[in-house]
Each structure stands twice: as structure tokens, then as C-alpha cells.
Amino acid sequence: MNYPLHRKLLKKSFWIRKLARALNARFRYADWRPCLQRGGTPWQKADRHAGSSKVLVATCVGSQIGSTILESMLAVALSLRGTRVEFLLCDAMLPACMGCEIGFLGKLTQGNGQPLTRSFCSTCFRPAYRCYEPLGLPIRRFSELLNEHEIAMCQEMAQKVPVQELGFFHHQGLDLGEQARAGALRFFARGDFGQEEYAEKVFRQYLEASIIAAEALGRLLDENRYDCAVFNHGLYVPQGILGALCRKKGIRVVNWNPAYRKRCFIFSHHDTYHRTMISEPVSSWENMVWSETKEKRLLDYLESRWQGTQDWIWFHEKPLLRVEDALRRLGVDLSKPCIGLLTSVMWDAALHYDSNAFPDMLSWMFASIDYFAKRRDLQLIIRIHPAEIQGGLPSRQRVADEIRKRYSAIPENVFLIGPDSPLSTYAVMQKCNAVIIYNTKTGIELAAIGIPVIVAGEAWIRNKGIAYDVSTPMEYIQALNRLPRPNPMSSGEILRARKYAYHFFFRRMIPLELMEPTGGNPPYRMRIDTLEALAPGASPGLDLICDGILFGKEFIFDPRESPPDRSVE
């Protein structure tokens, strides 16, 4: 993710990060008061308490500033459409949550790690509450749902779980152990706990938080019949638990996340987009009427991805596009077949997927290196994801370190391109006969420009009839045995890949022109003068999102066939 200089400094100084967090809490949240004062008539006329539909906007973690901006806007828009809306915020009741990041603690110690949230709550609940309070909508708090005795019982339950069973703990039919493990790994920014001194204590705190959240949120949902719950991401603690509870109780779930393209967001029904993008039926896009306009729009956008000019998420300001000399210096012989391998950030969305061929990304990568060590007729180019060091939460477990720990000598036909390398991933992969991925979304783009892709993990290109999907280690080896591919992708295969890429980048990414890119954290801010901008008919993207929340309409946006509006992208 590319940020200005001040964002890069944050990664180097614990004290600057703490200062920035405090300043963000004071100045980065949306202030609805001027807008209400300028255009208060629609808000005064809106029947915010008598609508037939009741929606829970469950931000939960108020320190997620981007979430408060978008979700407060959704709350206003839904209210203007006659919906009863309630907010949900944690008010320092959970001992751990997705708002906790080890990078803001400096060094984890016994003191600052009990509970984890002690260091974060002051810049979480109050700023979010100040953002929401002027709207006059009900704000539900976690603390009103459980008493001290009930919280103590949850804590005792978590402490009694044997350490080896923490990740498998179930309560009320919910897999809380998986959510707690994913949350703890995200806190440590690792794919496993390794030698972390406080791993068990942190894991237990996330399990304790999961149990408390399950009890509190279960009571909230039982006492209030919501038609739909809307909240960001749908993973980790407490959002992952809320989603599971809603599904169990028959309450519709809508999850969302910022998309790649500027001013665009992805919304999904029922579950986190990490799962629904894999299971989405191909009927949503495969019969799309293709046109020269769509083709040009897509290819222009994919070309822009090389430098991120139309995105608010990218990793290199000036990527190196001419990569031949750099690859030769690495030792790559471009006259021989090359196979690309793209890693992902090891801690990201560390959940179980039944279709994965391997238990985790590291196991897949080691199996790949072991295989190619015996295939001297091929060269494996491993591109380590730039987000490993440049993302919003830099990884504390590095892929290159893990490779060097396992192999005293890296095979001569295996080459590493580090996360800090300016080499363009796209330009390097274009030199490859095929590319192997685990869960990166780059496979969508590569297939669309004719590069064959093999999928071993939960990549969104899986189940689309585009890539070669493998679900067992044996299937994976069989796929590798077919390399190098004797023929390029056919025109029919490329067309199918382009249809899905267009669907993903232009139909699943819903434009909200009211969100202005900032280049910082959060990556957007809201720009509206009056509430009329949120009324029905004012924004096609917002209308679609509200219809999806209220009526279950699919979150598929159909852009015009005219040339793209650069102000939206």
C-alpha cells in the first residue's frame, strides 16, 4: 500500500505511531454536525423510528476509522429510506479485538498485554461515539449486554481450556477457537505463533473475548429482532463471531470492505467476501454480453494496475517495468521455461478452507520448492508480496526468512524476489510459462492477460473455470507435472477470464463517488454538502447498496457502456 512520507515513518517509530493514533482519534472521524445544520430538513422529516425494517450497523471496533465513516453514511442513507437503524460499539468490554496491533505496543510485556485492549480503548470507543451521537440514532454498547458476574464466567471458561485445544474450542455451536486464533495471529502479524513469548496468553485473551462476544451478541440478537446486520470485513474478533451468530439465528448478514479501485467498495451477502467470492455462482457473470467497450475498459484498467493510478491500494510508486536485466542478475536464464509463484501475507485471514490443497501457505510453498528442486528443466521465480513490509500491518514473519531456515542452500533453479524489490510483479510474471498462487487476487489479472494460473488455496479465481484448481497435494503435483504448458491459453479461455475480471473489478466493486481518496489512513473521507446527496436516486452505487441491505438485492453494479468516468475511478 503506497503512502506519503509520514505514513512510511510510522512503520519505523513506535512513538510516532502512538502519536498518530491519538491525532487520528481527534481529527479523522466524520463530523456530521455541519451537514445536519446545512441540510437538516430531510433528516427532520425522516421517520427514523417507525420503519418496518430494522438494521444493525455493527461497527463494534470504533478505532477502525474507515468503518465509522462508511457505516455512519450507510446509517443515514438507510434512515432516509425509512429504516430503523441502530449502531453497535464495544465500549472497552473485550480484553482483545481486531483493534489491537502489536506495532502500537512497542514491545509486548506482561504489563501492557493484560488485557490487550487497555492500550487501545481510549482511542476507540469515544471517537466513534462522538461521530455517531449527533445523528440521534440508538447506539448499543457491549457493556449493557452482560453483567460482571457473566463476564467473570466467560473469563473462567477461557482459562480452563487446555492450551492444545484453544484453536478447536466450540461454544454454543460456534467455532470460537478459529476466530480467536485468526485474531491472535493478526495481532502478532504472523502465520503461526513460532517462538512468541506471550503466544498462549494472547491466544487466551482472544478466546476470552470471543466467548464474551458470543454471550453478549447472542443476547442482543435474541432481544432485538433485526432484519439485517451490516458490518465490515466479517472476520476476526468480534465481527466474525457476530456473523456466525446472525447466520445461526436467521438474520441476514451484509459484509463489506474497501475495494482496489478508488471510491469503490465490495459488499457481500451472508458472509465475508473472503468466502463468498469463492462460492459466487458463475451464472453471475459468464453469460455477460461482451463488447469492445468492456474489453477496452478492462485492459486499460489492468494496465493502470501496474502503477496503481486508478487505485487507492498499491505498493510501488515507480515499479521497474523492464525486468530482463534484473532477472539475469538474479541468475534467471530467460531462454528456459520459468514458472512464477506469488506469495501472500502470512497472517492475513488465517481461516480454514475445505478446498485448500495444503493446511497453510508455508506448507504449500515448501512443497513447491521441494518439487522444483527435482525439476531442473524449470525455473521457479518466487515473488514475495510487497505488503509483507509495506502493508498497513507489516508482517513479523517473513517468507524469505522461513525459506532460509528450512533450506541450508536454496535450489539453484529457485529465485527469490523480495518484498522490497521495485520489480513489477506483472512484468516478471509475463516472463513465465505459468503462475502458481495460493490466495492472491493477482491470479484474476494474470489469467485475463493470457497467463495460465494454478490455484492451491482460497484465491477468488477458484471455481470459475478459469484457472487449474487443485484441492489435494496429489492434484497439485499432477498439475506441476504438466509444466511447462505446451500451448498458451486459448482465446476462449482468455475471454472467460476477462469476463470474470470485468465482473470483479467493475461490477462487484461498487462506486461511491462521495468517498474522496486521502492517500493516508483511512484511505478515504466523505465529501457531502447536504443530506440530499444520500437520498434515494442521488447515487446509483448507494442505491444498490441500500437495496441489497434492505431487500437482499445482489451487490452487482452494472456500469454504463460509455467510457469510464475517471472521477469515480
Are 517 and 3 in contact by the 8 Å Cβ rule? The answer is: no
Burial 467-499 (b: 16+ CB within 10 A, else e): bbbbeeeeebeebbeebeeeeebeeebbebbbb
Instruction: Output Rg (C-alpha) for the chain, integer angstroms.
Output: 24
pLDDT tens string 13-65: 555 566 666 666 666 899 999 888 876 556 766 655 666 899 999 999 999 99
The C-alpha cell at 307 is 502503477
Which amino acid appears at position 9 of this protein?
L
The C-alpha cell at 465 is 473455470
Q: List the alpha helices (DSSP H) in 122-198.
A: 125-132, 148-159, 176-188
> What does the pLDDT read at residue 308?
86
Please state, as a whole number, how many other Cβ atoms lie within 10 Å of the Cβ of residue 400: 16
Residue with cell 530467460: 334
- Note the pTM of the prediction, 2 decimals: 0.92
Are 71 and 254 in contact by the 8 Å Cβ rule? The answer is: no
> What does the pLDDT read at residue 559?
85
Cα torsion through 101, 104, 105, 107, rounded to 10: 90
Strand 434-437, strand 338-342: pairing: parallel
Beta strands in 393-538 (DSSP E): 414-417, 434-437, 453-455, 468-469, 509-511, 515-517, 524-526
Are 331 and 415 in contact by the 8 Å Cβ rule? The answer is: yes
Phi and psi for 78 in degrees, rounded to 5? -65, -40
The C-alpha cell at 171 is 461454544
Q: Within 13 Å and on the Cβ side, how many CA atoms surround 56? A: 25
Burial 129-159 (b: 16+ CB within 10 A, else e): bbbbebbebebbbbbebbeeeebeebbebbe
Provide the residue-wise pLDDT of the chain in tens; the chain has 569 residues.
444 444 455 555 555 566 666 666 666 899 999 888 876 556 766 655 666 899 999 999 999 999 999 999 999 999 999 999 999 999 999 999 999 988 878 778 777 667 888 888 988 999 999 999 999 999 999 999 999 999 999 999 999 999 999 999 999 999 999 999 999 999 999 999 988 999 999 999 999 999 999 999 999 999 999 999 999 989 999 999 999 999 999 999 999 999 999 999 999 999 999 899 999 999 999 999 999 999 999 999 999 999 888 998 776 668 899 999 999 999 999 999 999 999 998 887 565 556 588 988 999 999 999 999 999 999 999 999 998 988 778 889 999 999 999 999 999 999 999 999 999 999 999 999 999 999 899 999 999 999 999 999 989 999 999 999 999 999 999 999 999 999 999 999 999 999 999 999 999 999 999 999 988 778 899 999 889 999 999 999 999 999 999 999 999 999 875 444 444 44
> What does the pLDDT read at residue 2?
42
Reference 75, options 65, 87, 63; nearest CA is 87
Helix, strand or coil for residue 59?
strand
Domain chopping of the chain, boundaries:
5-281+510-551, 290-507
The residues near 418 (Cβ < 8 Å, ≥ 6 apart) are 384, 400
Give domain 290-507's CATH number out of 3.40.390.10, 3.60.15.10, 3.30.470.10, 3.40.50.2000: 3.40.50.2000
CA terminus-to-terminus distance, the chain: 17
> What does the pLDDT read at residue 351?
57
Cα torsion through 10, 14, 15, 21, rounded to 10: 60
* Distance between CA atoms of residues 105 and 82, nearest Å: 44
The residues near 15 (Cβ < 8 Å, ≥ 6 apart) are none
Residue with cell 475498459: 297
